[in-house]
Each structure stands twice: as structure tokens, then as C-alpha cells.
Amino acid sequence: MRRTPRIAVLAVVLTSALSACSDDAPAASPDPTTGDSRNPTVRPELESDVDSVLVLGDSLTNGARIFGDLGDRLDAAGFEELEIVAFDGVDTPWGIAQVEQRAEVGEVVVVELGTNPDADIDGFEEQVAELVAALRERGAERIAWVTPVHGADDRYDEKVEILHAASDIDEVADWASVVRERPRRLAADGLHPTEAGYADLAEFLAETALSIAR
């Protein structure tokens, strides 16, 4: 019998992203039998002994939790232990501190950090290595890192290159390509999704976790 999922959420309410999104209708609730193209439902597909997941991120992950039902999607994907740790405006050193204060983390970890404080790569390579090492030391078996992106230009490309060059990341999840294919899913600031875009991001995060858990 499947256990009742333990969902731990650390987040604060977004204050900036939706002011630029008022023209977008809220994401529709998915039909439980057919799904919905604007807010698709992840089906239970997890066929692995790996059943715990940590999603670590900034305001994008926070918005995916609030507006995109990220926790429900991870639950539907088959994860039995879920932890979503996300705050607005945080950076990679913050992520390191969050991990270091834990004795253990989920077997699957999806990191969505690197957008803040800006696109400057000074110290980023070292921060990535430190965060990944801290995760491995605390039980992470599979790690994915979501690429930062700005909808107006390629300012984050050097950070993306650093992620691809990192030796101990199992998957660099290409959110940047998704954004560039569907630019209308971003708000006017070029960083935060619209409400419909947060559904896309939540699905992307859940699918990323599922793909590395298999």
C-alpha cells in the first residue's frame, strides 16, 4: 500500500511576478482523466526504488509551487517524500546553507538556482561544485540543475556553460529552451513566468525529477 506522502514546504508568497501578468487568465484546473494542455497532470510513472525528492529554488520554484501545483505534480509522479524549499530572491550560496543545515536530503534533487543575484559568473563554478558536493554527502543519488534564463537575451549563457561542465550533475535541465520556444509564458520582466507559465514550469520540474529518478 502506498504511504501518505510527506510534503514539507518552505516558501514565501511571491510579491513581484504577477503584477506584470494580469492579462493572463489563471491556469485552468486539469481534468483528472484527460489532463489539460495549459496545466497538464503528471501521471504516476515512477518505477524505481528512489521515492524521495527535494526541489531547491528561488522565486521561480516558489511560483511553481503556488500557481503550478508543483507538490501535487510530484505526488502524482509517484514520489512519496517531497520537500520543496524555495524563497524569493535567493542565490546559490543560500542553497548551500539550506543543504548544510540538513542531515540528509532526498535521493532525487532538482536545483533551480543561479538567476540571482545576476548573470555575473564570478564564483559561480565554485558555488555549483560546493552545493553538489554537499547534496551528495547528504544522500542525493541523482541531481538535476535547471538552467537560468532571461527572455530578452543570452545573459545567462555563461552560467549554463558552467553547469554543463560540472562533473557531478546528472542532468542539466534545459528550461532556457522551453522559455525561448514559448516567450509569451514569461512576464514583462523577462524572468518570472505568467500564471500559465508557472504551470509549465511546475510540469517541467516534476518531469525533470521523474526523468532522473528512473
- Amino acid 23: pLDDT: 39
Question: 148 near 177, Cβ under 8 Å?
Answer: no
Q: How far apart are CA 33 and CA 86, in angstroms?
A: 30
Angle (CA) 30 22 8, round 5°: 50
pLDDT reported for residue 18: 45
pLDDT at 187: 92
Q: Which residues contact 154 (CB under 8 A, 6 or more apart)?
A: none
| Coil vs helix vs strand at 88 | coil
CATH code, residues 6-10+39-213: 3.40.50.1110
Contact assessment for residue 87 and residue 10, using Cβ atoms and an 8 Å cutoff? yes
pLDDT of residue 44: 52
pLDDT for 32 equals: 34
Q: pLDDT tens across 30-60, in order?
A: 333 334 434 444 445 666 678 999 999 999 9
Residue by residue, pLDDT tens for the chain (214 residues) are: 444 444 444 444 444 444 334 334 334 333 333 344 344 444 456 666 789 999 999 999 999 999 999 999 999 999 999 999 999 999 999 999 999 999 999 999 999 999 999 999 999 999 999 999 999 999 999 999 999 999 999 999 999 999 999 999 999 999 999 998 888 889 999 999 999 999 999 999 999 999 999 8
CB atoms within 10 A of CB 134: 18
Q: Can you tell me whether residue 155 is helix, strand or coil?
A: coil
Give the pLDDT confidence score for residue 47 in this predicted structure: 62
- Cell reading at 121: 559568473
**Stated pTM of the model:** 0.81
Pairing state between β 108-112 and 171-173: unpaired
Farthest-apart Cα atoms in the chain, separation = 49
